[in-house]
């Protein structure tokens, strides 16, 4: 492929689409949406779950396809991205745009109908911010990282609202945790790519304002502790157990961020970045385990109030399907009965 | 640079340019191609060439400026001095800021010209589709 002229040929179309959708990133995003879904205070509903997961996957695929389209010449400049489908012209930009349009339309429909309009709106809003704000902003302004952090915070909100239909303080805490996580994550990743970013014209913190890069890393590592150990239990996102068992993970994050802050180099940044990849699934698992809404103790309390345990209908207010009689709904409230 | 003999029935993409890293393209054409198709083909190929020309200049400038910076640093550090990553980061920031307005202009034009090609691309695909049906 390197030295010859080749026909523009997608060859394995599925593989090309997977790359266009940045499938690993899409999987991560969908898993944060699923995490948000699991954190919602309600019984598990398989069809809503499926709609949320599939819809989020499709919208994420669309956003990433738009990103490929907008950044093809910049991707060509950097080693990490120089073999992407649109850089090597495996198919035409129109083909990629059609893919983006089709996945966006189907993703939005599935979320709107299978979950509820709020989830759909959040999804398309996220697509708009990623493709319309974050991606172009990388060329012009250091604020792109903050826009990117918002993009990362919205999927859990989507998962949560898919069940509840409302945005409450608990889900905002969840989103903020993911927002703050983005800073140690991206700063760790980008530190080693400064040369590439500079030549390819990315106006990111690690190139244009190193001090800010270091400060935001430690600032948000500290924020994570406050969010997990104070805000999460207070907003009834999780139990107080989470406040305690999240401390080891957050302590490591803080320690690695501090090392990066004091002495930013190839090693500290890489360690921080790799840990951030491990941190995300672990913190989500811990959260789901400590989900106040799913706490079995509270479930037992509720059962004493509603003797009829034969629940045939698991629908909730907020979903577009019909709402059954309150007596039939199996809902575990956020506050404890003690 | 030699023009390789390429089958005009297909779209071709070449190896990346050594300096600009952008791959040249040759789009397919039929013998009786319509004006719409011809305009689209030439516009897209020209866009790619303009793209490559920008990056050629930009990347050459990067290499040149970097070499100058390293030479100057080495002079300051003495014969045994090593230019560190921290030193280079000063250059990276400098270069990015120097080229900021030029990159902005390029990006605006890149977005504008690509966006302007969407509708022609749709029309060309429609023409090709109709041609396929007629066969």
**Which chain B residue lies closest to A196 (C-alpha atoms)?**
B92
ipTM of the complex: 0.89
Mutate to test the interface with A, among B61, B66, B93 (most CBs of A within 10 A): B93
Q: What is the mean pLDDT of residues A214-219?
A: 96
- Taking 60 as the threshold, does the pLDDT of residue A318 lie above it? no
Residue B85: what pLDDT? 82
Helix (H, G, I), strand (E, B) or coil at A234: helix
Per-residue confidence at A322, pLDDT binned at 50, 70, 90? Answer: low
Which carries the bigger pLDDT value, residue A223 or residue B1? A223
Range list of H helices, chain A: 13-20, 23-39, 46-77, 93-114, 117-129, 135-140, 144-164, 169-191, 194-199, 205-208, 210-226, 232-234, 240-245, 247-262, 266-289, 296-305
Residue A336: what pLDDT? 54
- Taking 50 as the threshold, does the pLDDT of residue A333 lie above it? yes
Mean pLDDT of chain A: 87
The residue assigned the tokens 């995490």 is A35
Which of A46-50, A186-190, A305-309, B55-59 is least confident? A305-309
Q: How far is CA B73 from CA A55, A210, B8, B82, B85, in A?
A: 54, 20, 52, 9, 12
Q: How is chain A split into domains, by residue range?
A: 12-164, 168-286
Helix (H, G, I), strand (E, B) or coil at A142: coil
A247, A257 contact by CB (below 8 A): no
Measure in Å the smallest separation between the Cα of A29 and chain B Cα atoms.
27
Measure in Å the smallest separation between the Cα of A108 and chain B Cα atoms.
23
Q: What is the mean pLDDT of residues A37-63?
A: 92
Tell me the Cα Rg of chain B: 22
Mutate to test the interface with A, among B5, B14, B17, B21 (most CBs of A within 10 A): B21
Measure in Å the smallest separation between the Cα of A257 and chain B Cα atoms.
18
Q: What is the mean pLDDT of residues A124-132?
A: 96
Give the model confidence (pLDDT) of A232-289 as tens digits.
Answer: 999 988 989 999 999 999 999 999 999 999 999 999 999 999 999 999 999 999 998 8
Alpha-carbon gap, residue B63 to B58, rounded angstroms: 9
Mean pLDDT of chain B: 90
Classify residue A322 by its DSSP letter: P
Kindly list the residues from chain A whose CB atom is less than 8 angstroms away from the CB atom of residue B15.
Answer: 2-5
Length of chain B in terms of residues written: 135
Mutate to test the interface with A, among B20, B23, B41, B56 (most CBs of A within 10 A): B23
Of B15, B25, B117, the CB nearest to A2: B15
Of A73, A82, A207, the CB nearest to B55: A73
Q: What is the mean pLDDT of residues A308-327?
A: 48
Per-residue confidence at B74, pLDDT binned at 50, 70, 90? Answer: confident
Of B23, B62, B100, the CB nearest to A199: B62
Classify residue A323 by its DSSP letter: P
Of B14, B93, B110, the CB nearest to A5: B14
The first and second tokens of residue B105, run together, are: 């202009």
- Taking 60 as the threshold, does the pLDDT of residue A319 lie above it? no
**Which chain B residue lies closest to A195 (C-alpha atoms)?**
B92
Q: Top-level CATH class of A12-164?
A: mainly alpha
- The CA dihedral of A49, A54, A59, A62, to the nearest 10 degrees, is 170
Give the model confidence (pLDDT) of A133-154 as tens digits.
Answer: 999 999 999 999 999 999 999 9
Residue B32: what pLDDT? 84
CB contact under 8 A, A194 and B25: no
Give the model confidence (pLDDT) of A3-48 as tens digits.
Answer: 688 888 878 899 999 999 999 999 999 999 999 999 888 888 899 9
Q: Which of A261, A231, A262 is nearest to A246 (CA)?
A: A231
- Taking 80 as the threshold, does the pLDDT of residue B19 lie above it? yes
Q: What is the mean pLDDT of residues A301-320?
A: 42
Of A140, A198, A210, the CB nearest to B104: A140
Give the model confidence (pLDDT) of B115-131 as tens digits.
Answer: 999 999 999 999 999 98
Measure in Å the smallest separation between the Cα of A261 and chain B Cα atoms.
14
């Amino acid at each position: 492929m390197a030295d010859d002229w080749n026909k523009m040929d997608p060859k394995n179309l599925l593989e090309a689409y997977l790359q266009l959708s940045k499938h690993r990133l899409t999987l991560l995003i969908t898993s944060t949406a699923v995490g948000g879904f699991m954190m919602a205070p309600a019984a598990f509903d398989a069809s809503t779950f499926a709609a949320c997961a599939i819809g989020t996957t499709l919208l994420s695929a669309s956003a990433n396809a738009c990103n490929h389209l907008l950044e093809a010449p910049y991707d060509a400049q950097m080693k990490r991205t120089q073999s992407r489908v649109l850089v090597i012209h495996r198919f035409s930009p129109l083909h990629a745009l059609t893919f983006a349009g089709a996945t966006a339309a189907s993703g939005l429909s599935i979320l709107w109908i299978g979950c509820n309009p709020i989830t759909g709106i959040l999804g398309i809003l996220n697509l708009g911010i990623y493709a319309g704000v974050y991606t172009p902003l990388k060329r012009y302004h250091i604020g792109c990282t903050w826009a990117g952090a918002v993009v990362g915070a919205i999927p859990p909100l989507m998962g949560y609202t898919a069940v509840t239909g409302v945005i409450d303080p608990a889900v905002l805490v969840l989103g903020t945790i993911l927002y703050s996580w983005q800073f140690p994550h991206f700063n760790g990743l980008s530190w080693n790519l400064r040369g590439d970013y500079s030549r390819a014209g990315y106006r990111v913190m690690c190139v244009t304002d190193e001090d800010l890069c270091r400060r935001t890393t430690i600032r948000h590592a500290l924020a994570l502790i406050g969010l997990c150990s104070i805000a999460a239990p207070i907003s009834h996102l999780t139990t107080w157990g989470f406040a305690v068992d999240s401390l080891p993970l957050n302590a490591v994050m803080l320690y690695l961020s501090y090392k990066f802050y004091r002495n930013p180099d190839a090693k500290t940044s890489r360690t921080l970045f790799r840990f951030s990849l491990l941190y995300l699934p672990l913190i989500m698992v811990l959260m789901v385990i400590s989900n106040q809404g799913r706490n079995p103790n509270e479930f037992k309390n509720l059962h004493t109030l509603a003797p009829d345990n034969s629940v045939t209908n698991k629908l909730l207010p907020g979903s577009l399907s019909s709402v059954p009689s309150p007596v039939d709904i199996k809902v575990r409230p956020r506050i404890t009965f003690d | 640079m030699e023009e390789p003999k390429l089958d005009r029935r297909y779209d071709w993409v070449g190896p990346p340019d050594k300096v600009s890293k952008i791959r040249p393209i040759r789009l397919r054409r039929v013998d009786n191609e319509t004006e719409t198709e011809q305009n689209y083909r030439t516009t897209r190929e020209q866009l790619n060439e303009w793209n490559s020309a920008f990056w050629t200049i930009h990347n050459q400038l990067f290499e040149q400026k970097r070499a100058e910076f390293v030479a100057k640093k080495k002079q300051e550090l003495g014969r045994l001095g090593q230019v560190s990553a921290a030193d280079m980061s000063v250059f990276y920031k400098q270069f990015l800021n120097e080229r900021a307005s030029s990159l902005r202009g390029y990006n605006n034009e890149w977005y504008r010209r690509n966006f302007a090609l969407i509708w022609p691309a749709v029309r060309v695909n429609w023409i090709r589709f109709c041609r396929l049906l007629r066969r």
